[in-house]
């Protein structure tokens, strides 16, 4: 991809299809939930959440009043098939005509399962920075195996971004969730289907998130910083939704599936290592990242930022053992071919995993 100035000298072409999702952003936006649901013609909504966010699900249900058919508060990480089946049964018994997903990526993931089957439309109210609400990617886990796919049908009709709902996200979780979002922007920059538009989203998304994090860690109730971070998360999620992810997302997917490592924390630890691996091959395309972080070498800047804010340093910290390195490398290689700025050999995969396992400086 070249800059517009390069257009005469090198190929400047792209294909970009943004989702048709309505986005309503602002402090206090949750109050608009009944109106936004009414705009979609939905009358019997099932409110979804994790057990930890059941209080927020109750608030959403109260706001919806007669438009709320009931609540299902058993959403879990990686959408176990059994949980999705139970939610489908509840939706059927209540004759729900749609859902409201209030919470992080786990809750959005459950809404996506119900959007696939039985095809219920939904509104998303994200309370973390994971960005799932902007992507057509769904996932389901059965007997420890996660299946994923892409289908525009799983995109929400409407997203309500209310930064006030993120005030309760603990500082440490905010940092790792934000790094999860930054990873979307990083891989979108060097994706085979990137575009100049995506590069703008990625740069501004990372700038907002990285700029907001120190303030959030100092004062988790800082509403200005929370709004910046959630806005950045939307931009980064939008990058994820329209591009093909590469080595970093493949590796984190394998680590989450095979070793059950926590999602956002794994992204946080792995990202600087993958970035260091790809940096030379993708230097030009990563220029917006350097500008966003005000650095000449983004891998170190990202690692130092997350560590200075108390994020985990190594995959060992997250529960991986040294014996896991080689089998995990094999699982990654079994996913090939996948997009990446440079090829990944067995030696590369092992070295990368070892560096992330020990928490080496990049
Ligand atoms: P999560 O949804 O599991 O949330 C983590 C924990 O934080 C939960 O216990 C939740 O109840 C709590 N929480 C969320 N928001 C909170 C808030 N504002 N205040 C207090 N507590 C809060 O985790 P996540 O990191 O948001 O999402 C991870 C999941 O999303 C993974 O399963 C991942 O695979 C998926 N994901 C999917 C996509 C996609 O495009 N399909 C993209 C990103 C993530």
Average predicted confidence (pLDDT) for the chain: 95
pLDDT for 223 beyond 60: yes
| pLDDT recorded at residue 9 | 44
Average pLDDT rounded to a whole number, residues 263-284: 98
Q: What is the pLDDT of residues 190-215, one digit of tens each?
A: 999 999 999 999 999 999 999 999 99
Q: Is the CB of 171 under 6 A from ligand 1?
A: no
Higher-pLDDT residue of 11 and 39 is 39
Domain presence at residue 207: yes
CB atoms within 10 A of CB 334: 8
Q: What is the pLDDT of residue 11?
A: 61
Least confident of 3-7, 89-93, 135-139: 3-7
Mean pLDDT of 35-48: 98
3-state secondary structure of 316: coil
Tokens of 275: 């970035």
Q: Which of 165, 181, 216 is the last residue of a domain?
A: 165
Which residue has a Cα nearest atom 19 of ligand 1?
A: 169
Q: Mind listing the pLDDT tens digit for each residue in 56-66?
A: 999 999 999 99
Eight-state DSSP code of residue 101: E
Mean pLDDT of 264-289: 98
Q: Is residue 2 part of a domain?
A: no
- Best CA proximity match to 240, nearest among 210, 280, 201: 201
Whether residue 268 has its Cβ less than 6 Å from ligand 1: no
130 lines ligand 1 (CB under 6 A): yes
- Taking Cα atoms as reference points, which of 135, 147, 349 lies closest to residue 244? 135
As given in the structure block, the two tokens for residue 11 are 């190929």
Work out how many domains the chain is built from and give that number. 2
**97: pLDDT strictly greater than 50:** yes
Domain-embedded: residue 115: yes
Mark whether 102 and 131 lie in a shared domain: yes
Q: On the CB side of 143, how many CA atoms lie within 13 Å of its CA?
A: 0
202 close to 241: Cβ distance less than 8 angstroms? no
CA distance 246 to 341: 8
Q: Which of 60, 78, 103, when mutated, tests ligand 1's pocket best, judged by the most ligand atoms within 8 Å of its CB?
A: 103
Ligand 1 contact via 270 beta carbon (within 6 Å) = no
Ligand 1, residue 78: give the atom nearest the CA: 32
47 phi-psi bin (left φ>0, alpha ψ -120 to 50, beta other):
beta
pLDDT value at position 143?
80
CB 103 less than 6 A from any atom of ligand 1:
yes
Q: Is 126 in the pocket of ligand 1 (CB under 6 A)?
A: no
Helical ranges in the chain per DSSP H: 33-39, 54-64, 81-93, 105-116, 171-189, 196-218, 223-242, 247-259, 263-278, 287-293, 298-308, 325-333, 346-358
At residue 109, the pLDDT reads: 98
CATH of the domain at 234: 1.20.1090.10
Q: Is the dihedral of CA 29, 35, 37, 43 positive or negative?
A: positive
CA-closest candidate to residue 169, choices 74, 56, 268: 56
β-bridge pairing 137-142 and 145-150: antiparallel
> Which of ligand 1's atoms lies nearest the C-alpha of 240?
40
* Mean of pLDDT values over 85-94: 98
For the stretch 180-192, pLDDT in tens is 999 999 999 999 9
Atom of ligand 1 nearest to the CA of 253: 34
Ligand 1 atom closest to 139 (CA): 41
Residue 298: its pLDDT value, please? 98
- Beta carbon of 229 within 6 Å of any ligand 1 atom: no
pLDDT at 5 over 60: no
Q: What number is the average pLDDT over the span 122-151?
A: 93
The predicted model scores a pTM of 0.95
Same domain, 349 and 330: yes
94 and 222, same domain (yes or no): no
Closest-CA residue, ligand 1 atom 14, reads 104
Q: How confident is the model at residue 10 (pLDDT cuts 50, 70, 90)?
A: low
Note whether 214 and 277 are same-domain residues.
yes
How many A from CA of 38 to the centre of ligand 1? 27
> Is the same domain home to 46 and 117?
yes
Q: What percent of the chain has pLDDT over 70?
A: 97
The protein residue with its alpha carbon nearest to ligand 1, atom 21, reads: 169
Residue 159 is assigned to a structural domain of this protein: yes
- Same domain assignment for residues 152 and 186: no
pLDDT of residue 146: 80
Tell me which residue range forms the domain holding 37: 22-165
């Amino acid at each position: 991809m070249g800059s517009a100035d390069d257009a005469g000298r090198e190929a400047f072409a792209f294909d970009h299809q943004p989702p048709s999702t309505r986005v309503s952003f602002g402090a206090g936006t949750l109050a608009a939930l009944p109106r936004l649901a009414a705009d979609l013609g939905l009358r019997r909504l099932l409110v979804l959440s994790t057990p930890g966010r059941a209080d927020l699900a109750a608030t959403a249900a109260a706001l919806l009043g007669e438009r709320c058919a009931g609540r299902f508060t058993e959403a879990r990480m990686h959408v176990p098939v059994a949980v999705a089946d139970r939610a489908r049964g509840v939706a059927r018994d209540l004759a729900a005509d749609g859902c409201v997903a209030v919470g992080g990526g786990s809750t959005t993931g459950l809404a996506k399962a119900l959007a696939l089957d039985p095809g219920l439309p939904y509104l998303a109210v994200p309370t973390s920075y994971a960005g799932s609400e902007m992507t057509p990617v769904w996932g389901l886990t059965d007997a420890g195996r996660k299946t994923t796919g892409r289908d525009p049908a799983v995109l929400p009709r409407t997203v309500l971004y209310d930064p006030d709902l993120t005030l309760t996200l603990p500082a440490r979780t905010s940092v790792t969730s934000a790094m999860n979002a930054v990873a979307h922007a990083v891989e979108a920059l060097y994706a085979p289907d990137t575009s100049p538009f995506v590069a703008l989203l990625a740069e501004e998304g990372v700038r907002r998130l990285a700029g907001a994090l120190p303030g959030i860690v100092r004062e988790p109730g800082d509403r200005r910083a929370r709004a910046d971070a959630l806005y950045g998360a939307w931009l980064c999620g939008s990058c994820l939704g329209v591009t093909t992810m590469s080595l970093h997302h493949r590796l984190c997917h394998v680590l989450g599936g095979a070793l059950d490592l926590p999602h956002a924390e794994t992204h946080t630890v792995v990202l600087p290592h993958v970035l260091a691996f790809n940096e030379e091959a993708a230097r030009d395309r990563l220029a917006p990242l350097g500008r966003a972080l005000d650095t000449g070498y983004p891998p170190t800047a990202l690692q130092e930022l997350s560590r200075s804010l108390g994020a985990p340093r190594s995959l060992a910290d997250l529960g991986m053992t040294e014996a896991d390195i080689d089998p995990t490398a094999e699982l990654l290689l079994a996913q090939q071919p996948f997009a990446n700025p440079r090829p990944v050999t067995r030696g590369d995969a092992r070295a990368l995993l070892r560096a992330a396992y020990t928490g080496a400086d990049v």
